[in-house]
Structure 1
């Protein structure tokens, strides 16, 4: 019976539409399929799936700005992509290389780990590699624990910046904040070659 109902043709546009009744299921009447449903039948619950999205490396690389690289470091470290974290990262990048050439040597934070330059003057093959090494360096070293804690919280660029100043990341300690600018950082795209494209 179910197969018959599933394969039955739809009514023609010129056929009268059957009225729903509250008593029984009846056979076909002419060219019109008629179904009667008991009035006590409740509609079935509908399940709606929920979907979430996450910023992935390919999305960030395709856009290719300093803000995208900052987010790539956060994604690589598993840290939240909050406004405060992104702001902190682009400010930090500006202190290391300046906003107009932030991709210098494909090493925006002048990270020595894995770059071939222990003092931070080394380079990476791409900005993607640089982001992975920056996140890894922060996570591997106990003396960066306060920076990592600030990034994990993601609530205060100022608190995380103080952790950076107190750490051995830069021998100058950024003048313990006196050389650190919190002015807005312009959005600047790196050349595609810096991303390995």
Structure 2
């Protein structure tokens, strides 16, 4: 009798080990996702998205600057300024008005319209306008000029201005003139002080011999200013 062979199908292999391997892989993957998520930076919070009651993070001691929607432009006021002429610029001008300003400058008086007006009127009463530089002594000043009654002369108009300023500050009888010029007082105040002083023996007839007409601008000859 022919032996019969069994036709049984072979047993299927056991798969528990394969399933176990898949489970381990899935566990490792899940752990990796958790680890990556913990290392990622936190999302930027949005106050607008969180709603009106949400509070944004603010460091301790932080300051807040509120800028209005419309900022007004402020106009900055700057003080004006003026320049005082120096000796060289006045000498370069060379006029009777320049010499009047030089006396004020040498005497430490303010160079104002009031003071310059008085000085040019005073110079005209002493030497006239067309020859105001006569003997380089526009005010007929006797101080340092070597002449009596103001008839002396100076080496230059600059030295004459220095001597006139020095005389005003040195003689007590001129103190009212000095005070008026220092305060840039009204012209009539300073002129009254000149008339009352011993500068001129005639006292300019206390204003009777005094002209108020504007003095012409006259330039002195070359060589009269340099010392």
Normalising by structure 1, we get a TM-score of: 0.73
- Residue of structure 2 in register with 1:101 after alignment: 131
- What does 1:131-170 correspond to in 2, within 5 Å? 131-170=161-200
Pairwise CA distance, 1:51? 7.5
Change (3 A) 1:63 1:176: same
C-alpha separation in 2, matches of 1:163 and 1:51: 31
Maintained 8 Å contact 1:61/1:68: yes
Maintained 8 Å contact 1:112/1:122: yes
> Following TM superposition, where does structure 1 have runs of at least 4 consecutive aligned residues deviating by more than 2 angstroms?
50-54
Maintained 8 Å contact 1:96/1:108: yes
Pairwise CA distance, 1:53? 2.9
Change (3 A) 1:95 1:52: closer
- Residue of structure 2 in register with 1:57 after alignment: 87
Q: Which has the larger radius of gyration?
A: 2
Pairwise CA distance, 1:196? 2.3
Query: Which of 89, 101, 115 in structure 1 is aligned with 2:145?
Result: 115
- Residue of structure 1 in register with 2:159 after alignment: 129
SS in 1 for 2:149: coil
- Please report the RMSD computed on the Cα atoms of aligned residues, expressed in angstroms: 1.7
- What does 1:87-98 correspond to in 2, within 5 Å? 87-98=117-128
- What does 1:19-30 correspond to in 2, within 5 Å? none
Maintained 8 Å contact 1:88/1:157: yes
SS in 1 for 2:116: helix
Pairwise CA distance, 1:194? 1.0
Change (3 A) 1:117 1:82: same
Q: Deviations over 1:9-28 (max 9, x none)?
A: xxxxxxxxxxxxxxxxxxxx
Runs of 5+ consecutive residues of structure 2 not aligned to the other structure: 1-64, 66-77
Question: How many residue pairs are counted as aligned between the two chains?
Answer: 150
Change (3 A) 1:180 1:57: same
C-alpha separation in 2, matches of 1:188 and 1:132: 21
Maintained 8 Å contact 1:82/1:155: no
- Residue of structure 1 in register with 2:102 after alignment: 72
Pairwise CA distance, 1:157? 1.4
C-alpha separation in 1, matches of 2:208 and 2:216: 21
Pairwise CA distance, 1:185? 0.4
Runs of 5+ consecutive residues of structure 1 not aligned to the other structure: 1-39, 41-47
